[in-house]
Amino acid sequence: MTELLKLSAAELGAAIASGETSAVEATQAYLDRIAEVDGQIHAFLHVAADKALEQARAVDARRAAGEKLGPLAGVPVAHKDVFTTKDMPTTAASKILEGWQSPYDATVTERLRDAGLVILGKTNLDEFAMGSSTENSAYGPTRNPWDTDRVPGGSSGGSSAAVAAFEAPLATGTDTGGSIRQPAAVCGLVGAKPTYGTSSRYGLIAFASSLDTPGPIARNVLDAALLHEAFSGHDPRDSTSVNEPVPPVVEAARRADVSGMRIGVVKELSGEGYQPGVMQRFTEAVELFESLGAKIVEVSCPSFTAALAAYYLIAPSECSSNLARFDAMRYGLRVGDDGTRSADEVMALTRAQGFGPEVKRRIILGTYALSSGYYDAYYGSAQKVRTLIKRDFEAAFQQADVLVSPTTPTTAFRLGERIDDPMAMYLADLCTIPTNLAGNAALSVPCGLAPEDNMPVGLHIMAPTLADDRAYQAGAAVEAALRDKWGGDLLSQCAYAV
Amino acid sequence: MGSAVTSDHSAKGGATALMPYDEVLRGYEPVLGLETHVELGTRSKMFCSCATTFGAEPNTQVCPVCLALPGALPVVNSAAVESAIRLGLALNCSIAEWCRFARKNYFYPDMPKNYQISQYDEPLCYDGYLDVTVDTPEGPREFRIGIERVHMEEDTGKTSHVGGADGRIHGAEYSTVDYNRAGIPLLEIVTKPIEDAGEWAPQVARAYVRELRDLIRALGISDVRMEEGSLRCDVNVSLKPRGSTEWGTRTETKNVNSLRSIERAVRHEIERQGGVLSAGGRVVQETRHFQESTGTTVAGRSKEEAQDYRYFPDPDLVPVAPDREWVEQLRATLPELPSAKRRRLKAEWNLTDKELQDLVNANAVDLVEQTVAAGAPPAEARKWWLNDLSRRATETGVELSELPITPAQVARVVELVAEGSLTNKLARQVVDGVLAGEGEPDEVVEARGLRVVSDDAALGAIVDQAIANNADAAEKVRNGKIAAVGALVGAVMRETKGQADAGRARQLILERLGVSG
């Protein structure tokens, strides 16, 4: 069974399609693995063993009937518990949704099913995807398989930990300020934030609508590209969905070539506050690009220094409104409804009890930022910064085909280390936030372990809007070169490697 | 608030006496503003594909989007945008090249998202006008009402309070919410301040809403049934001291839901505010509710501590940027609007101002036009709709257009009278039959046996009988006193219960008595 777990998603899909193995065997192998290790990792909030096997049997039946299967048919996937699923619970890791059953599937869920992917269960996250450590989950933290005293990143920490611990070959995530790339980086994985609007938000429980982007987490670039392609594309149910063909990410991941590519190093995303080991691995990766035939240029994006501040106005503002619907009236938790209280009182009691401290912090921040008299100074200014960041990206992409930086300033921190220091926690997304504000594409790919703590370091590759394929192409090139250098995947060094 | 008289709900102050209307007008000029919400008649809701049928079982026309389930997203109904643009064009508005939806944030159980998707500082249509006519003793007078904006938004659910007095929340045991209405497309039409209405303010307000209603009906974008709440009006009133350039404090009277109530609410607010001001008090800026039963307004929540709706552009939706060619196409295909139609019909039918206004006041313009189109002479068509049928509508408490008789049926009755098959009296009975659901006019004539008797064979015997029974009268006629024939004709008519052709009967009597008529 361990042999099945070692296969990449691409290899596993091919093995199922050829009949070398079955979807049921693969699914059972992963369910066994979850049973074995998830007690220590806590990547999953819900494991849907019966339903997963049922889906796997359906894939095997389709193959038996002579149907030609897609590249990921029968391949298991861990699904972030912020996407609605009509056959398993959806909680967004919040008490306020405990016990709620969605009557409908998110578009991403639907497309996973359509591609024949087998949903193993729902993974843990920071409550409503607000956080960088998965410690904000109302159902307890997830641990980093590289070092279970450390966080797996967040908010898609359950997804990254599941993939890093070989509990799933693939996982979905959502990236609002770095929530895919940061956990992928600190768990030694590949994670992509697609161009905003190319992956549907329908059925994704909204945190910040103008920033939220579903994307893939995988052990390697090609697997990420395959999952990316499986659930992306225009969705008429999401008005912000872009009606454009999905960039050819799978083809780019197979091409894995940077010769002649101009790679821009963003001056503002390095220096003070960055862990030395992170900078060391980043610098080596840039040198590696050069040795592979890329042209390295330094670019300056001065507005990026204001990105974190702008983000922490825009995201809380949107979330303060998006989370207003959790009011105990139609679904979810209801507190204090004993016949003596008004609807207003029940709403207030429910929200006080149902939301965790970080969610409340952001609702309060956002409510304040949108208030009459403050709107222009806060939300209005933040939107202007957003425009400036877009312009910086546009100018930088005149000089370079892709931009690079470390994915995170530090490696995974210890559980509890930053939970009482929101600013330190927010800094984890320093490098990833500009891409969310501008809406373009980015990928994180492992580039080694930091010498001081032996924890994974992520290389962040940013590409222009609708040019996601460039990030995949560059990422695949560096991945291949490093694999040669290391004699295998970085992940084989993880404590939970199989 | 000290001893100042604030408003009539003040616990200590009690109700302030009203000031007679004419007296208020001597000292003040009313300033009006009207905000009208119209439910559009689109088949589906504003942001999802749920049906919009009125009166369906509660919570059967709902989906993840209009129930605001986690993860659900809105998608704009382009039919609603089209309706909004058509109304904007008909109201002489400019159509925005680019505008956005905004979220209006506040918590209320009947609003599933706890924000309403509306438009804030970027309305789809802006800066237009609507001309309305008011009857005055000096004849019809026209007022031009400036239109500030027309914007799109979604309706809320409908809350019902159970167990309390008169369905209000105070004293209710519990409340229920029907989300069928949540997400139904609404247009909000906001006037500019109306400063020149003067003493005619109540009538101007009423005439504006009626004109707007007729315009919306002519466009076919809503059936505008005020009693079903598909048109709701908020009336802002303030008083400006004569000669002053500064406006007084305004009140907003919510959900005034009939034309008559609009007129009454404005008049009452003018009298009430006049009373407050003359007593040395100040008008409180507040929301008020119109009481249908008493014709008065009562205070709701105070607006002095303005609620902060934290408007911001809805990030779930993309801007609406109507294609200019499309807008021009919509402009070119607007139907004939009520004002133009009135001008045309006035000329075609040669009506006086008063006659035209009577038709408008009776909501009979379209009905008469259709009756004429079905072949009736305009004068006859007007007579039927304004007299008998208007009376019947009032008696049964329905709108004229809701009477169960069609313009084509009225035209047929007119035709039967014209060809002599019916007398006017018989015609009314035929109309009664049609209204009673007895079928087409010809079927009623047949079934009730109402056709005029002009057949000589049938009439002959009755005439002979009448002559025999009224020998005195017959003798007078024979002696040349022709006027005495009336008694004989009357006898024939009595005998035939009015169905005889009186002219033919007279002729036969004279023939029989050897006198030439």
For residue A249, pLDDT beyond 50? yes
Number of domains in chain A: 1
Any domain includes A27: yes
Beta pairing class for B139-154 and B185-191 = antiparallel
Helix/strand/coil (H/E/C) assignment for every residue in B157-169: CEEEEECCHHHCC
Chain B: closest CA distance from residue A396 (Å): 27
- What's the pLDDT score for residue B2? 35
- DSSP tag of A111: H
Contact partners, residue B251, CB within 8 Å, separation at least 6: B236, B237, B238, B269, B273, B283, B284, B285, B286, B287, B288, B297
DSSP-assigned letter for residue A238: S
The answer to whether residue A1 scores a pLDDT higher than 70 is no
pLDDT score, position A45 = 98
Residue A174 lies in a domain: yes
Euclidean distance between CA atoms B47 and A326, whole angstroms? 20
Q: Give how far Cα B99 sits from Cα of A200, A209, A298, A446, Å.
A: 24, 19, 39, 44
Closest residue by Cα to residue B424 from B413, B410, B438:
B413
Q: Kindly determine whether residue A239 and residue B317, on different chains, have CB atoms separated by under 8 Å.
A: yes
Which residues on chain A place their C-beta less than 8 Å from a C-beta of chain B?
A: 83-84, 90, 92, 97, 100, 102-104, 106, 201-206, 208-210, 236-240, 317-318, 320-321, 324-327, 329-331, 343-344, 347, 367, 370-372, 375, 379
Report the pLDDT value the prediction gives residue B3, as an integer from 0 to 100. Answer: 36
| Overall residue count recorded for chain B in this entry | 517
Distance (Å, whole) CA A304 – CA A311:
11
Give yes or no for a contact between A242 and A195, defined as CB atoms under 8 angstroms apart.
yes
The whole-angstrom distance between B76's CA and the closest CA on chain A is 8
Nearest to A396 by CA among A298, A260, A475: A298
Q: Using the 8-state DSSP alphabet, how is residue B41 labeled?
A: -
Q: Long-range pairs for B12-21 at CB < 8 Å and ≥24 separation?
A: B13/B281, B16/B272, B16/B275, B16/B276, B16/B279, B16/B281, B17/B275, B17/B279, B18/B268, B18/B271, B18/B272, B18/B274, B18/B275, B19/B271, B19/B274, B19/B275, B19/B278, B20/B271, B21/B267, B21/B270, B21/B271, B21/B274
Q: Do B75 and A239 touch (CB under 8 A)?
A: yes
Question: Is the minimum CB–CB distance between B115 and chain A shorter than 8 Å?
Answer: yes
In the predicted model, is pLDDT for residue B32 greater than 90? yes
**pLDDT category of residue A62 using cuts at 50, 70 and 90:** very high
Confidence of residue A242 (pLDDT cuts 50, 70, 90): very high
Q: How many CB atoms lie within 10 A of CB B15?
A: 14
Name the residue with tokens 């102050």: B13
d(Cα B177, Cα A495) in Å, to the nearest integer?
Answer: 54
Of B112, B177, B315, the CB nearest to A325: B112
CB A228 within 8 A of CB A77: no
Checking if the pLDDT of B126 tops 60, the result is yes
Cβ distance of B74 and A325 shorter than 8 Å? no
B436 neighbors B407 (Cβ within 8 angstroms): no
Q: Dihedrals φ, ψ of A174, to 5°?
A: -135, 145
Answer yes or no: is pLDDT of B12 > 50: no
B69 with A97: Cβ contact below 8 A: no
Nearest Cβ partner for B310 among A106, A210, A367: A367
Q: Is residue A192 within 8 Å of residue A224, measured between CB atoms? A: yes
Give the C-alpha distances (Å, rounded to integers) separating A173 from A39, A215, A226, A284, B26: 21, 5, 14, 28, 71
Kindly state whether residue A352 falls inside one of the protein's structural domains.
no
A32-36, B304-308, B503-507: which is most confident: A32-36
Measured CA to CA, the distance from residue B340 to residue B342 in angstroms comes to 5
Residue B477: pLDDT band (50, 70, 90) is confident
| Confidence (pLDDT) at B452 | 75
Residue contact B69–A204, C-beta within 8 A: no
Q: Report the alpha-carbon distance of residue A242 to residue A219 in Å, rounded.
A: 28
Residue A376 domain flag:
no
Give A440-496 pLDDT, tens digit per residue: 999 999 999 999 999 999 999 999 999 999 999 999 999 999 999 999 999 999 999
Nearest-CA residue of chain B relative to A128?
B70
Which residue's entry shows tokens 């220096």?
A271
3-class secondary-structure state, position B500: strand
Asked if residue A287 has pLDDT above 80, the reply is yes
Give me chain B's average pLDDT, please.
90
pLDDT of the residue at B228: 80
Distance from A92 to chain B by nearest Cα, in Å? 9
Put the strands of the sheet holding A213-218 in their side by side order.
A44-47, A118-123, A76-80, A170-175, A213-218, A190-193, A441-449, A456-463, A402-406, A262-266, A295-299
Task: Answer left, alpha or beta for residue B125, where phi above 0 means left and psi between -120 and 50 means alpha.
Answer: beta
Residue B506's CB: how many other CB atoms inside 10 A?
19
3-class SS of residue B233? strand
**In this predicted structure, what is the pLDDT of residue B463?**
87
Query: Comparing C-alpha atoms, which of B383, B336, B338 is closest to residue B133?
Result: B338
Which chain A residues are Cβ-neighbours of B316 within 8 angstroms? 206, 209, 239-240
Query: Does the pLDDT value for residue A374 go beyond 60?
Result: yes
Q: What distance in Å separates residue A398's CA from the closest CA in chain B?
A: 28
Verify whether the Cβ–Cβ distance A203 to B308 is below 8 Å. Answer: no
Residue among B67, B70, B115 minimizing CB distance to A205: B70
Among candidates A205, A318, A370 on the partner chain, residue whose Cβ is nearest the Cβ of B71: A205
Which tens digits make up the pLDDT trace of A48-59?
999 999 999 999
Q: With contact defined as beta carbons under 8 Å apart, do B159 and B109 qualify?
A: yes
- Give pLDDT, residue B303: 58
Say which amino acid occupies A36: E
- The whole-number pLDDT of residue B40 equals 96
With contacts defined as CB-CB under 8 Å, which chain B residues touch A324? 105, 107, 113-115
CATH hierarchy code of domain B456-512:
1.10.10.410
Q: Which residue range forms the structural domain that includes residue A217?
A: 2-303+387-493
Residue A355 lies in a domain: no
> A330 and B68: CB-CB below 8 Å?
yes
Please, what is the Cα angle at B113 between B111 and B118, to 5 degrees?
A: 80
Q: How far is CA A76 from CA A31, A118, B20, B410, in A?
A: 9, 4, 80, 73
Q: Which residues of A are catalytic?
A: 80, 155, 179
Structure token digits, residue A119: 């949903």
Does some domain include residue A464? yes
The residue of chain B nearest to residue A371, with distances taken between CA atoms, is B310
Contact flag B318-A240 (C-beta cutoff 8 Å): yes
Instruction: Please report, for the domain that includes residue A249, its CATH number.
Output: 3.90.1300.10
Please write the tens of the pLDDT for every residue from A315-356.
999 999 999 999 999 999 999 999 889 999 999 999 999 999
Looking at the complex, report in whole angstroms how far the Cα of residue A86 sits from the nearest Cα belonging to chain B. 12
Query: Rounded to a whole number, what is the distance in Å from the CA of A429 to chain B's nearest CA?
Result: 22
- pLDDT for the residue numbered B464: 86
Residue of A176, A279, A165, A151 whose CA lies nearest to A219: A165
Q: Is residue A324 in a domain?
A: no
CA distance readout (Å), A200 to A83, A160, A228, B500: 11, 21, 11, 80
| High-pLDDT (> 90) share of chain B, % | 66
Which residues, 6 or more positions from B255, have their beta carbon under 8 angstroms from its beta carbon? B232, B233, B234, B289, B290
- Residue B517 is predicted with a pLDDT of 54
pLDDT exceeding 70 applies to what percent of chain A? 100
> Taking residues A268-273, what's their average pLDDT?
89
Select from B310, B311, B317 the residue whose CB has the most chain A CBs within 10 Å, as the one to mutate to test that interface: B310
Q: What confidence tens digit (pLDDT) does each residue in B337-377 have?
A: 999 999 999 999 999 988 998 898 888 999 999 999 999 99
Phi, psi (degrees; rounded to nearest 5) at B19:
-105, 135
User: Average pLDDT, stretch B209-237?
Assistant: 92
DSSP state of B334: P
Q: Are A226 and A10 in contact (CB under 8 A)?
A: yes
Q: Which helix (H) or strand (E) holds B457?
A: helix B456-469
Backbone φ and ψ for B423, nearest 5 degrees, come out as -85, 170
User: Which amino acid does the sequence have at A48?
Assistant: A
pLDDT of the residue at A274? 94
- Name residue B387's amino acid: N
Instruction: List chain B domain ranges.
Output: 21-313, 337-448, 456-512
Decide: residue B321, CB within 10 A, 0-12 exposed, 13-18 middle, 19+ buried.
Answer: exposed
Confidence check: pLDDT of B13 > 60: no
**Nearest in space to A253 (alpha carbons), one of A271, A273, A226, A276:** A226
Query: What predicted TM-score, i.e. pTM, was given to this entire model?
Result: 0.89
- Contact list in B for residue A236 (CB cut-off 8 A) is 75
Mean pLDDT of chain A: 97
Angstrom distances, CA of residue A128 to CA of A191, A324, B501: 19, 13, 87
- Closest by Cα among A130, A207, A134, A208 to A171: A134
Per-residue confidence (pLDDT) for residue B57, from 0 to 100:
96
pLDDT higher at B461 or A231: A231
